[in-house]
Amino acid sequence: MFSKFRKYSVALLALSLCGSFCATAIAKEAEKEPWWKQAVVYEIYPRSFADADNNGVGEIKGITSKLDYLKDLGVDALWITPCYPSPQVDFGYDISDYKAIAPEYGTMADFDELLAEAKKRDIKIIMDFVMNHSSDKHPWFVESASSKDNAKRDWYIWRDGVNGAPPNNWISLFGHSAWKLYPETGQYNYHFFYPEQPDLNWRNSEMRKAMYDAARFWLDKGVAGFRLDAVQALFEDPKLPDNPVKEGKNQYGDPNTEYLHNDRLPEVHDVLRELRAVLDMYPGDRVLIGETTGSDIAEISKSYGKNLDEVQLPMNFIMAYINKLSAPEFRKRISEWDKNPAGGWPLYFFSNHDQVRHFVRYGDKIHNEDIAKLTAAVLMTVRGTPMMYYGEELGMQNNDPKTKEDVQDPIGKIGWPAEIGRDGERTPMQWNSEINAGFSKAKPWLPVSPDYKKVNVASEDADKNSVLNFYKQLIHLRKTEDALKNGSYETLDDHNPDVLSYLRKSKDEIVVVALNMTPAPKFVQLDLSANGISADTAEPLLASFDAGSESLHLKSLKLPAYGVLIGKVN
């Protein structure tokens, strides 16, 4: 309700700024649910998705060439990790120009073509927006570093050292001191990540304007929104107090510290509100997805904003990191996210380019494919927006580097062997069983996983029981069953230690989902009367095993190991 009111206010503001056409478009949208509530979002790591020019590194044209595949899978929006010019120290998360395309990924014309081709297929493009830091090769930083009195000095964080040492004990998330000394000016520069990723100073209003201007550049082109990188780290306490030191050492050998004074500062919310207001000036329900961490749901859900006026889709890493198949744990985590205190719309994901693929984290090496289908079923049938990582629809697994010499990701070089880096989850997409899994004719920048002869799009397309075809069926169901689109989420059989069961209930339809999270067959008795439903049978809609076509008796359901059963209540 409030958000509708808010949109009308934005429409009024838009009327004054961009005329009646724009305002009418935004006001009309206030009437309908935003597209991102129903969408399936798919993350693409451009280096690894498809290599159209066969040089071993994927690019924009590669993505464009695979749009029909993505459409057929049922994807509605692509989140593309950074494809801006960059020295690639952190593979694109070190940006040297916020308004251009990296030459190794193509040209702006290639990007425009991607947008246009995606639009023809009703697929939206979401860019990665790296607001916390730029590259040290960005002209802003080069200027800032050039002298203490440069006009851009304050766009970054510079401080004097203390007795020949860094200004305080802050440790970079990527290892060692968060301060790098620049002898030219004798001052230290602050970096939450690599030294080559200096933090932007969000207390500087000119810099702030320049970043919003960069956001507008892409919004004007028609991108559907942004995934906000490391957004919690935008601010630091200007007094620079030391962070509390905890017991033990991190994977890089530094003392463990609590990021008390340089992470999740309240000022972040002012920026999120401002950026959201920038997006809300555009028609089309542009969306913000936040890389928002927090130690509990109350904290993560702060990123929705008190009036749902910040990030529409915060990423809940607590849910993504459950890391064990446990019905009680999933039940608890889904329920708390579904009923988050902000009343925001949930986003769910299990894998991304920074985390070991969930096929490995949840797999038991015996039932891996069944487990991949089960986690897919969670993703596609709970109330919320699912976000997938390229290749998860195949059951792709990590292909981790075996030696330090093989590592590309700098954190793997700094922290080897305690930290092996993130190469393993970033290997080339597996398209077919030909050379390099059909990703490229040249040697790929990271080695293809050895399982590619079996785990690839072409083979799985041809196998009706594959993980890929199960994803397709699930996505199709999500789009066709009203209860899965619009229904409430209600847990069933709340104390069952093994099977997670729930209802999705809309005005016209009730769908029941039962997921056996154990390696043994299980019987379940689902009694819907406490949910005000007298029916005790359902028609099978989709199962990961042969569930037959007869009506299901909800009071005696049999599920095989890691079995998934979805039915429509009669």
Residue numbers at the binding site for ligand NOJ (CB under 6 A): 90, 93, 130, 193, 229-230, 291, 353-354
CB of 229 to ligand NOJ, least distance (A): 5
d(CA 50, CA 429): 7
CB of 169 to ligand NOJ, least distance (A): 21
- Please identify every residue annotated as catalytic: 229, 291
| Residue 227 · residue 126 · CB < 8 Å | yes
Q: Which residues of 403-442 are buried (b: 16+ CB within 10 A; e: fewer)?
A: eeeebbbbbbbbbbeebbbbbbbbbbbbbbeeebbbbbee
How many other C-beta atoms lie within 10 A of the C-beta of residue 342?
18
- For 102-206, where are the E strands, in sequence order? 124-130, 158-159, 179-182, 187-190
Q: Which is nearer to ligand NOJ, 230 or 347 (CB)?
A: 230
Residue 366 burial by CB count (10 A; 0-12/13-18/19+): exposed, middle or buried?
A: exposed
Residue from 299, 293, 287 nearest 345 by CA: 287
Q: Which is nearer to ligand NOJ, 26 or 230 (CB)?
A: 230
CB of 69 to ligand NOJ, least distance (A): 24
Residue 91 burial by CB count (10 A; 0-12/13-18/19+): exposed, middle or buried?
A: buried
CB of 470 to ligand NOJ, least distance (A): 28
Give long-range contacts, CB 8 A cutoff, 24+ apart: 137-142.
137/87, 137/94, 137/96, 137/196, 138/95, 138/96, 138/97, 139/96, 139/97, 140/207, 140/210, 141/198
Q: What is the DSSP letter of 160?
A: -
Pairing of strands 124-130, 77-80: parallel
In which element (H, E) is residue 112 found? Answer: helix 108-120
User: How is 50-72 classified by DSSP, letter by letter?
Assistant: --TT-SSS--HHHHHHTHHHHHH
Q: Which is nearer to ligand NOJ, 289 or 327 (CB)?
A: 289
Residues whose CB is less than 8 angstroms from the CB of residue 256 and which lie 6 or more positions away in sequence, other chains included: 245, 246, 247, 248, 249, 250
CB of 113 to ligand NOJ, least distance (A): 26
CB of 173 to ligand NOJ, least distance (A): 8
CB of 16 to ligand NOJ, least distance (A): 37
* 3-state SS, residue 73: helix
d(CA 211, CA 88): 20
Which residue's CB atom is positioned nearest to ligand NOJ?
93
Q: Which is nearer to ligand NOJ, 93 or 304 (CB)?
A: 93
User: How is 12-24 classified by DSSP, letter by letter?
Assistant: HHHHHHHHHHHHH
CB of 47 to ligand NOJ, least distance (A): 12
As given in the structure block, the two tokens for residue 251 are 């994977």
CB of 221 to ligand NOJ, least distance (A): 23
As given in the structure block, the two tokens for residue 4 are 């509708």
Residue from 86, 75, 85 nearest 36 by CA: 75
The alpha helices in 321-406, defined as continuous H runs, are: 327-338, 358-362, 368-381
d(CA 132, CA 138): 13
Q: Which is nearer to ligand NOJ, 185 or 293 (CB)?
A: 293
Q: What is the DSSP letter of 466?
A: S
